[in-house]
């Protein structure tokens, strides 16, 4: 019985992650009120942001300059969300 319950919970967790892998990052982005300074037109490749590494650096700069209290992994998660949603840069595995 416990094994079956664990299996069902595991499937639900995986299904939830597959449904929206960026849910937490979207919430962080929203809570930080990033769209108060930005609009969707700001989120496209340009001379300043032409790689995932530079995107991550810009996200960190915004985070620090605006006193957003994200952990490093949360900042990375937001960078991945923005990349997957807007930029589409290749990402190297760390």
Has residue 38 been placed in a domain?
A: yes
User: Structural domain tally of the chain?
Assistant: 1
Predicted confidence at residue 1, as pLDDT, reads 66
Predicted confidence at residue 18, as pLDDT, reads 55
Has residue 69 been placed in a domain?
A: yes
Q: How confident is the model at residue 11 (pLDDT cuts 50, 70, 90)?
A: low
The larger pLDDT score, comparing residue 47 to residue 78, is at 78
Has residue 17 been placed in a domain?
A: no
Residues 36-71: tens digit of each pLDDT: 999 988 998 888 999 999 999 999 999 999 999 999
Dihedral sign computed on CA atoms, order 78, 51, 49, 84: negative
Burial category of 9 from C-beta neighbours within 10 Å (exposed 0-12, middle 13-18, buried 19 and up): exposed
Q: What separation in angstroms does the CA of 90 have from each of 23, 55, 56, 78, 93?
A: 21, 11, 13, 15, 10
Has residue 43 been placed in a domain?
A: yes
Has residue 1 been placed in a domain?
A: no
Has residue 65 been placed in a domain?
A: yes
Has residue 33 been placed in a domain?
A: yes
**Is 80 exceeded by the pLDDT of residue 10?**
no
Predicted confidence at residue 77, as pLDDT, reads 96
Has residue 12 been placed in a domain?
A: no
Domain that holds residue 56: 22-87
In this structure, of 6-10, 28-32, 61-65, the range with the lowest mean pLDDT score is: 6-10
Predicted confidence at residue 21, as pLDDT, reads 86
């Amino acid at each position: 019985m416990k094994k079956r319950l664990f299996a069902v919970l595991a499937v639900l967790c995986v299904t939830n992650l597959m449904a929206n892998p960026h849910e937490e990052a979207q919430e962080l982005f929203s809570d930080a009120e990033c769209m108060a300074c930005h609009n969707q037109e700001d989120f496209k490749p340009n001379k300043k942001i032409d790689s995932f590494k530079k995107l991550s650096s810009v996200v960190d700069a915004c985070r620090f300059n605006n006193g957003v209290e994200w952990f490093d992994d949360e900042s990375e998660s937001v960078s991945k969300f923005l990349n997957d949603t807007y930029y589409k840069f290749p990402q190297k595995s760390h």
